[in-house]
Structure 1
């Protein structure tokens, strides 16, 4: 039996994809507006080669935006985004930051909410509408 998506399910999936894309588009826009500031933030967290890492992050975020908008390589992109988001949560908002600013704990927890959505998206795929059917072997 072939299950079809209802109109509201299709709309919900498309809205979720747009939200994922928008979050990463905003992040990469801020990086492109001031790559030096991004590098400074990375350096302040103790990472080496901050400008190189800032550019790597920007490139990754552009690729994630494309994947979420097109549906191409959707499942692997969602899993990569999930790893990236949890890495960012621990690196920039993790337990070592909580003593200095309690709001950091909230920022940290927010990463897990986003992580849950990305895992859900990875399992269920990009939906049947406006999705380029490209992916790695075994991906939806």
Structure 2
């Protein structure tokens, strides 16, 4: 019982984090695009929309358990990309807090990798996926 509760809470935390990120992107798409442009990426508005849509897809995967391991791996790659692109070593000199933000992404990656390996649990999880099978 406690294992099931822990897994469900972890899934809700993952979903909640990406839901907040998507909400901020949808509510402030222009601000997100400006932040992306400031990092030097082309097509910032398109990338802002794609990021928000991707985050919604992650939320659905974490809440339903469908393609959970795949979503966890993709989310991990996304989180590390964000760490280097927006909080990487080039940002540390101007603001020491950026190093903390950078490191935080790796702790999030650790949780996502653990989730990818262990799957969404047996309760409240759709039985769809390419990696995790019941």
Smaller-chain TM-score bracket: over 0.9
Spell out structure 1 runs of 4+ moving beyond 6 A. Answer: none
In the other structure, the counterpart of 1:133 is 127
Q: How many residues align?
A: 133
- TM-score using structure 2 length: 0.98
CA distance in 2, matches of 1:132, 1:139: 11
Superposition deviation, residue 126 in structure 1:
0.1
In the other structure, the counterpart of 1:8 is 2
SS, match of residue 12 in structure 1:
helix
- RMSD of aligned Cα (Å): 0.6
- Larger-gyration structure (1/2): 1
CA distance in 2, matches of 1:28, 1:59: 7
- TM-score using structure 1 length: 0.94
CA distance in 2, matches of 1:102, 1:92: 13
Name structure 1 gaps, 5 residues minimum. Answer: 1-6
In the other structure, the counterpart of 1:45 is 39
Name structure 2 gaps, 5 residues minimum. Answer: none
